[in-house]
Amino acid sequence: MHTDRLAPLALILLLIPGTAWATYVNFESSQVHPITLNGTQDRLLVVNTPDARLEVFSVAGDGSLTRSFSVPVGLEPVSVAWRPNLVSGREEAWVVNLLSDSVSIVDLGLRQVIRTLPVGDEPTDVAFAQGRAFVTVSQEDAVRVFNLPLPVPPAPPSQSTVSLFGRQPRALAVGAGGTRVYAVLQKSGNQTTVVDSNVIFGNNPNLNLGRLSQSLPRGDESRRPL
């Protein structure tokens, strides 16, 4: 190889500015319930998804925040929920780790993870009701249910699985009476959604009104297009 051919190439490389390099794009999992308050509302719990941590802030009387401490958890945490452990009398934060397929249980007094629960493929949220913990497992189209309190390790937790009619459940919500837990599906099995008909007819001039009229319930002729 001739060195005289390399000289122009080296000169070109030296003249390329640093900004010519492509910028870094951080692809991370979508958060579901990434922030919550504890029971006394003097601590704010936040998942730090790209850094795989739970961030804890102290909340002052005027609402101002002071960073208190940080706890390493599993990979790609997307949700956090607070609960009082009635057996130990301590506060816990349950952190759902989508990429690690687990839930990290953080003792907020000890400031560390005290237990890691394997829950299934890509969990997304956790909620508590009726002495049980409910965890959505998105890639299994199911909700994993754990009886509380959890047994002392190495004893395995008592659990069951509720299969859902739909794809990729994400968020959970507990009803007002605490007797029902609702799961939100990202991809519904029957491919439907609920939209106010006034919004449909009033805001979209590109609708196929003939086909849409067939979907209206009988007796609702006032809303059928002419």
Task: Band the pLDDT of 221: cuts 50, 70, 90.
Answer: very low
Average pLDDT for residues 201-223, to the nearest whole number? Answer: 57
Residue type, position 179, single letter = T
Taking the C-alpha atoms of residue 103 and residue 121, their distance in angstroms, rounded to an integer, is: 12
What residues contact 19, with CB distance under 8 A and at least 6 apart?
Answer: none
DSSP letter at 208 equals -
Render pLDDT for 32-42 as a digit per residue (tens, 0 to 9).
999 999 999 99
Looking at the predicted structure, is the pLDDT value of residue 157 above 70?
A: yes
State the pLDDT at residue 209.
Answer: 63
Phi then psi for 5, rounded to 5 degrees? -80, -25
Q: Six-digit token pair at 182?
A: 């609702």
The total number of residues written for the chain in this structure: 226
Average pLDDT for residues 198-212, to the nearest whole number? Answer: 64
> Cα angle vertex 166, ends 204, 128, to 5°?
110
State the pLDDT at residue 215.
Answer: 52
Looking at the predicted structure, is the pLDDT value of residue 1 above 80?
A: no
Taking the C-alpha atoms of residue 79 and residue 54, their distance in angstroms, rounded to an integer, is: 10
> Which class would CATH give 35-188?
mainly beta
Indicate the domain borders of the chain. 35-188, 194-226
State the pLDDT at residue 225.
Answer: 41
